[in-house]
Protein backbone atom coordinates (compact mmCIF):
# COMPACT_ATOMS: atom_id res chain seq x y z
CA UNK A 1 0.00 0.00 0.00
CA UNK A 2 1.25 3.47 -0.85
CA UNK A 3 2.15 5.82 1.99
CA UNK A 4 -0.52 8.26 0.81
CA UNK A 5 -3.21 5.55 0.91
CA UNK A 6 -2.24 4.41 4.41
CA UNK A 7 -2.06 7.98 5.66
CA UNK A 8 -5.44 8.85 4.21
CA UNK A 9 -7.08 6.10 6.25
CA UNK A 10 -5.74 7.28 9.60
CA UNK A 11 -5.51 11.04 9.08
CA UNK A 12 -8.46 12.25 11.09
CA UNK A 13 -7.46 13.10 14.67
CA UNK A 14 -4.58 13.22 17.08
CA UNK A 15 -4.03 9.66 18.21
CA UNK A 16 -3.01 8.85 21.77
CA UNK A 17 -1.56 5.33 21.84
CA UNK A 18 0.55 3.32 24.20
CA UNK A 19 4.22 3.66 23.24
CA UNK A 20 6.08 0.63 21.94
CA UNK A 21 8.69 -0.88 24.21
CA UNK A 22 11.58 1.53 24.58
CA UNK A 23 9.64 4.47 23.12
CA UNK A 24 8.77 7.63 25.02
CA UNK A 25 5.12 8.47 25.61
CA UNK A 26 4.65 11.73 23.76
CA UNK A 27 2.67 14.46 25.45
CA UNK A 28 1.75 17.38 23.14
CA UNK A 29 2.10 19.65 26.17
CA UNK A 30 5.82 18.99 26.03
CA UNK A 31 6.18 20.62 22.61
CA UNK A 32 6.07 24.39 22.13
CA UNK A 33 6.38 25.67 18.57
CA UNK A 34 6.90 29.18 17.22
CA UNK A 35 4.77 28.53 14.12
CA UNK A 36 1.18 29.73 14.32
CA UNK A 37 -0.15 26.55 12.66
CA UNK A 38 1.47 23.13 12.74
CA UNK A 39 0.92 19.40 12.32
CA UNK A 40 3.24 16.43 12.83
CA UNK A 41 2.65 12.81 11.82
CA UNK A 42 4.41 9.48 11.46
CA UNK A 43 3.92 8.48 7.82
CA UNK A 44 4.75 4.83 8.46
CA UNK A 45 1.85 4.35 10.88
CA UNK A 46 -0.38 7.23 9.82
CA UNK A 47 -0.40 8.42 13.42
CA UNK A 48 -0.85 12.13 13.97
CA UNK A 49 1.50 13.12 16.78
CA UNK A 50 0.85 16.84 17.23
CA UNK A 51 -1.47 19.55 15.94
CA UNK A 52 -1.73 23.28 16.49
CA UNK A 53 -4.58 25.14 14.78
CA UNK A 54 -4.16 22.48 12.08
CA UNK A 55 -7.60 23.13 10.52
CA UNK A 56 -7.13 26.88 10.14
CA UNK A 57 -7.11 27.81 6.44
CA UNK A 58 -4.25 30.22 5.67
CA UNK A 59 -2.03 31.29 2.74
CA UNK A 60 0.73 28.74 2.16
CA UNK A 61 3.13 30.62 -0.17
CA UNK A 62 5.58 28.38 -2.04
CA UNK A 63 4.51 25.19 -0.27
CA UNK A 64 2.05 25.39 -3.17
CA UNK A 65 4.82 24.14 -5.45
CA UNK A 66 4.54 20.62 -4.05
CA UNK A 67 1.06 20.37 -5.55
CA UNK A 68 2.36 21.89 -8.79
CA UNK A 69 5.01 19.16 -8.97
CA UNK A 70 2.39 16.45 -8.48
CA UNK A 71 0.30 17.90 -11.33
CA UNK A 72 3.32 18.11 -13.65
CA UNK A 73 4.24 14.49 -13.02
CA UNK A 74 0.66 13.23 -13.23
CA UNK A 75 0.29 14.88 -16.63
CA UNK A 76 2.73 12.40 -18.17
CA UNK A 77 4.34 15.12 -20.28
CA UNK A 78 7.94 14.46 -21.31
CA UNK A 79 10.42 15.65 -18.72
CA UNK A 80 13.18 15.99 -21.33
CA UNK A 81 11.12 18.40 -23.47
CA UNK A 82 12.60 21.87 -23.93
CA UNK A 83 10.14 24.56 -22.86
CA UNK A 84 10.27 28.22 -23.83
CA UNK A 85 10.39 30.72 -20.96
CA UNK A 86 7.28 32.80 -21.55
CA UNK A 87 6.41 36.12 -19.88
CA UNK A 88 3.57 36.33 -17.41
CA UNK A 89 0.18 37.04 -18.91
CA UNK A 90 -0.45 39.48 -16.08
CA UNK A 91 1.58 41.04 -13.32
CA UNK A 92 2.16 38.80 -10.32
CA UNK A 93 0.41 39.92 -7.10
CA UNK A 94 3.80 40.23 -5.39
CA UNK A 95 7.41 40.62 -6.49
CA UNK A 96 8.19 37.73 -8.87
CA UNK A 97 11.75 38.67 -9.81
CA UNK A 98 13.64 35.94 -11.67
CA UNK A 99 17.09 35.67 -13.24
CA UNK A 100 15.72 33.53 -16.06
CA UNK A 101 15.71 35.21 -19.48
CA UNK A 102 12.38 35.43 -21.26
CA UNK A 103 12.51 33.59 -24.58
CA UNK A 104 15.25 31.13 -23.58
CA UNK A 105 14.59 27.42 -23.12
CA UNK A 106 15.06 24.83 -20.37
CA UNK A 107 14.01 21.20 -20.06
CA UNK A 108 10.81 20.50 -18.15
CA UNK A 109 12.73 18.32 -15.67
CA UNK A 110 15.15 21.14 -14.85
CA UNK A 111 12.31 23.65 -14.51
CA UNK A 112 10.66 21.29 -12.07
CA UNK A 113 13.88 20.80 -10.12
CA UNK A 114 14.53 24.52 -9.60
CA UNK A 115 10.85 25.05 -8.82
CA UNK A 116 11.12 22.61 -5.94
CA UNK A 117 14.64 23.07 -4.58
CA UNK A 118 15.10 26.79 -5.17
CA UNK A 119 11.44 27.90 -5.27
CA UNK A 120 11.93 29.53 -8.68
CA UNK A 121 8.65 31.33 -9.36
CA UNK A 122 9.15 31.92 -13.08
CA UNK A 123 9.91 28.22 -13.53
CA UNK A 124 6.68 27.28 -11.76
CA UNK A 125 4.76 29.69 -13.97
CA UNK A 126 6.31 28.30 -17.17
CA UNK A 127 5.41 24.76 -16.15
CA UNK A 128 1.77 25.79 -15.81
CA UNK A 129 1.72 27.64 -19.14
CA UNK A 130 3.08 24.58 -20.99
CA UNK A 131 0.62 22.20 -19.35
CA UNK A 132 -1.94 20.59 -21.72
CA UNK A 133 -4.78 23.09 -21.82
CA UNK A 134 -2.61 25.87 -20.42
CA UNK A 135 -2.54 27.61 -17.08
CA UNK A 136 -6.27 27.38 -16.35
CA UNK A 137 -6.20 23.62 -16.89
CA UNK A 138 -3.14 23.37 -14.64
CA UNK A 139 -4.83 25.19 -11.76
CA UNK A 140 -7.97 23.10 -12.28
CA UNK A 141 -5.82 19.97 -12.03
CA UNK A 142 -4.29 21.26 -8.78
CA UNK A 143 -7.73 21.66 -7.23
CA UNK A 144 -8.93 18.33 -8.60
CA UNK A 145 -5.90 16.60 -7.05
CA UNK A 146 -6.56 18.33 -3.75
CA UNK A 147 -10.12 16.98 -3.78
CA UNK A 148 -8.83 13.51 -4.66
CA UNK A 149 -6.45 13.58 -1.69
CA UNK A 150 -9.16 14.72 0.69
CA UNK A 151 -7.70 18.22 1.04
CA UNK A 152 -11.15 19.72 1.44
CA UNK A 153 -9.95 22.96 3.04
CA UNK A 154 -7.50 23.82 0.26
CA UNK A 155 -7.78 26.08 -2.77
CA UNK A 156 -5.21 26.93 -5.44
CA UNK A 157 -5.23 29.81 -7.93
CA UNK A 158 -1.64 29.73 -9.23
CA UNK A 159 1.28 27.32 -9.56
CA UNK A 160 3.90 29.27 -7.62
CA UNK A 161 2.17 30.38 -4.42
CA UNK A 162 2.75 34.06 -5.07
CA UNK A 163 -0.96 34.65 -4.62
CA UNK A 164 -2.21 34.77 -1.02
CA UNK A 165 -5.39 33.13 -2.34
CA UNK A 166 -3.53 29.82 -2.42
CA UNK A 167 -4.83 28.57 0.92
CA UNK A 168 -4.69 25.35 2.86
CA UNK A 169 -4.41 23.95 6.38
CA UNK A 170 -1.62 22.15 8.18
CA UNK A 171 -3.80 19.03 8.29
CA UNK A 172 -4.42 19.14 4.53
CA UNK A 173 -0.73 19.66 3.84
CA UNK A 174 0.07 16.47 5.77
CA UNK A 175 -2.00 14.70 3.13
CA UNK A 176 -0.06 16.46 0.38
CA UNK A 177 3.27 15.49 1.93
CA UNK A 178 2.15 11.86 2.16
CA UNK A 179 1.11 11.90 -1.50
CA UNK A 180 4.29 13.64 -2.65
CA UNK A 181 6.38 10.97 -0.95
CA UNK A 182 5.08 8.49 -3.53
CA UNK A 183 6.95 10.41 -6.28
CA UNK A 184 10.65 9.57 -6.40
CA UNK A 185 11.36 12.63 -8.54
CA UNK A 186 9.82 14.98 -5.97
CA UNK A 187 11.81 13.38 -3.19
CA UNK A 188 15.00 13.65 -5.23
CA UNK A 189 14.50 17.21 -6.47
CA UNK A 190 13.50 18.66 -3.10
CA UNK A 191 16.66 17.20 -1.54
CA UNK A 192 19.03 18.57 -4.20
CA UNK A 193 21.51 20.86 -2.45
CA UNK A 194 22.83 22.65 -5.54
CA UNK A 195 22.14 22.61 -9.26
CA UNK A 196 23.40 24.30 -12.44
CA UNK A 197 20.60 24.94 -14.92
CA UNK A 198 21.80 24.95 -18.54
CA UNK A 199 19.60 27.06 -20.79
CA UNK A 200 19.65 27.39 -24.56
CA UNK A 201 18.58 29.99 -27.15
CA UNK A 202 20.60 31.81 -25.88
CA UNK A 203 22.98 29.49 -24.10
CA UNK A 204 23.73 30.42 -20.47
CA UNK A 205 23.81 28.82 -17.02
CA UNK A 206 22.39 29.74 -13.62
CA UNK A 207 23.38 28.33 -10.24
CA UNK A 208 20.71 27.39 -7.71
CA UNK A 209 20.78 26.30 -4.07
CA UNK A 210 18.19 24.64 -1.85
CA UNK A 211 16.10 27.05 0.22
CA UNK A 212 15.89 24.59 3.15
CA UNK A 213 19.11 24.83 5.15
CA UNK A 214 18.40 21.47 6.80
CA UNK A 215 18.97 19.72 3.47
CA UNK A 216 22.58 20.88 3.66
CA UNK A 217 23.16 19.53 7.18
CA UNK A 218 24.52 16.03 7.70
CA UNK A 219 22.71 15.84 11.03
CA UNK A 220 19.36 15.82 9.21
CA UNK A 221 18.07 13.00 7.00
CA UNK A 222 15.57 14.97 4.93
CA UNK A 223 13.39 12.85 2.66
CA UNK A 224 11.33 15.67 1.11
CA UNK A 225 10.90 19.37 1.79
CA UNK A 226 9.48 22.67 0.60
CA UNK A 227 9.85 26.14 2.06
CA UNK A 228 7.65 29.15 1.50
CA UNK A 229 7.38 32.82 2.31
CA UNK A 230 5.01 35.72 1.76
CA UNK A 231 4.57 38.52 4.25
CA UNK A 232 0.96 37.51 4.77
CA UNK A 233 1.91 33.82 5.16
CA UNK A 234 5.04 34.18 7.26
CA UNK A 235 7.82 31.60 7.01
CA UNK A 236 6.57 28.13 6.14
CA UNK A 237 8.10 24.67 5.95
CA UNK A 238 6.58 21.36 4.86
CA UNK A 239 9.04 18.50 5.31
CA UNK A 240 9.47 14.78 5.80
CA UNK A 241 12.56 13.74 7.76
CA UNK A 242 13.71 10.36 8.97
CA UNK A 243 14.03 10.64 12.74
CA UNK A 244 15.27 7.54 14.54
CA UNK A 245 14.09 5.41 11.64
CA UNK A 246 10.60 6.98 11.48
CA UNK A 247 9.42 9.05 8.47
CA UNK A 248 8.10 12.13 10.27
CA UNK A 249 6.01 14.61 8.31
CA UNK A 250 5.89 18.13 9.70
CA UNK A 251 3.99 21.18 8.49
CA UNK A 252 4.97 24.52 9.99
CA UNK A 253 3.05 27.60 8.85
CA UNK A 254 3.49 31.28 9.64
CA UNK A 255 6.56 31.87 11.78
CA UNK A 256 9.05 34.68 12.22
CA UNK A 257 12.30 34.73 10.29
CA UNK A 258 14.08 32.26 8.03
CA UNK A 259 15.43 30.14 10.87
CA UNK A 260 12.30 29.92 13.01
CA UNK A 261 10.69 26.96 11.19
CA UNK A 262 14.08 25.25 11.28
CA UNK A 263 14.10 25.78 15.03
CA UNK A 264 10.62 24.29 15.22
CA UNK A 265 11.82 21.27 13.24
CA UNK A 266 14.64 20.85 15.74
CA UNK A 267 12.19 21.10 18.64
CA UNK A 268 10.02 18.42 17.04
CA UNK A 269 13.01 16.11 16.67
CA UNK A 270 14.02 16.69 20.29
CA UNK A 271 10.45 16.09 21.48
CA UNK A 272 10.25 12.79 19.60
CA UNK A 273 13.52 11.62 21.17
CA UNK A 274 13.13 12.93 24.70
CA UNK A 275 9.53 14.03 25.22
CA UNK A 276 10.64 17.66 25.66
CA UNK A 277 10.91 20.10 22.79
CA UNK A 278 12.86 22.90 24.40
CA UNK A 279 12.18 26.64 24.48
CA UNK A 280 11.23 29.19 21.84
CA UNK A 281 13.10 32.47 21.47
CA UNK A 282 11.33 35.51 22.90
CA UNK A 283 11.00 37.34 19.55
CA UNK A 284 9.58 34.25 17.82
CA UNK A 285 7.13 33.66 20.70
CA UNK A 286 5.99 37.28 20.62
CA UNK A 287 5.42 37.07 16.86
CA UNK A 288 3.38 33.87 17.27
CA UNK A 289 1.20 35.39 19.99
CA UNK A 290 0.59 38.50 17.90
CA UNK A 291 -0.39 36.39 14.92
CA UNK A 292 -2.83 34.38 17.03
CA UNK A 293 -4.48 37.62 18.11
CA UNK A 294 -4.72 38.73 14.48
CA UNK A 295 -6.25 35.41 13.42
CA UNK A 296 -8.77 35.70 16.25
CA UNK A 297 -9.73 39.21 15.14
CA UNK A 298 -10.13 38.13 11.53
CA UNK A 299 -12.34 35.20 12.47
CA UNK A 300 -14.59 37.48 14.52
CA UNK A 301 -15.21 39.94 11.66
CA UNK A 302 -17.36 38.61 8.77
CA UNK A 303 -15.66 38.93 5.39
CA UNK A 304 -12.18 39.64 6.72
CA UNK A 305 -9.50 37.12 5.83
CA UNK A 306 -5.78 36.74 5.32
CA UNK A 307 -6.36 37.28 1.60
CA UNK A 308 -7.68 40.77 2.32
CA UNK A 309 -4.48 41.57 4.20
CA UNK A 310 -2.40 40.47 1.21
CA UNK A 311 -3.33 43.38 -1.04
CA UNK A 312 -0.30 45.44 -1.94
CA UNK A 313 2.27 42.94 -0.63
CA UNK A 314 5.58 43.12 -2.46
CA UNK A 315 7.73 40.55 -0.69
CA UNK A 316 9.72 38.04 -2.71
CA UNK A 317 8.53 34.47 -2.21
CA UNK A 318 11.51 32.25 -1.36
Active site residues: 62, 65, 119
Q: How many CB atoms lie within 10 A of CB 25?
A: 10
Burial 288-306 (b: 16+ CB within 10 A, else e): beebbeebeeeeeeeeebb
| Residue in 82, 111, 53, 119 with CA at minimum distance from that of residue 292 | 53
- The rounded radius of gyration (Å) of the Cα atoms in the chain is 19
Residue 182 DSSP one-character state = T
Q: Tell me how far apart the terminal alpha carbons of the chain are, to the nearest angstrom.
A: 34
Q: How many CB atoms lie within 10 A of CB 53?
A: 19
| Residue in 149, 155, 159, 137 with CA at minimum distance from that of residue 68 | 159
Amino acid sequence: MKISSLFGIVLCAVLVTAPAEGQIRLDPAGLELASAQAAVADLASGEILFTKHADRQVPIASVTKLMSAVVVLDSGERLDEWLTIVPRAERAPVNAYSRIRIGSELRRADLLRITLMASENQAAYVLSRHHPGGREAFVAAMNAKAAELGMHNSRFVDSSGLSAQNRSTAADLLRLLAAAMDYEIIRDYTRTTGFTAEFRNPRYTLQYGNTNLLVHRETWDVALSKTGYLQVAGRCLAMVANIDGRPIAMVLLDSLGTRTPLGDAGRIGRWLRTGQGGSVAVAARDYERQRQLEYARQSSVPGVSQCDAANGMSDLDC
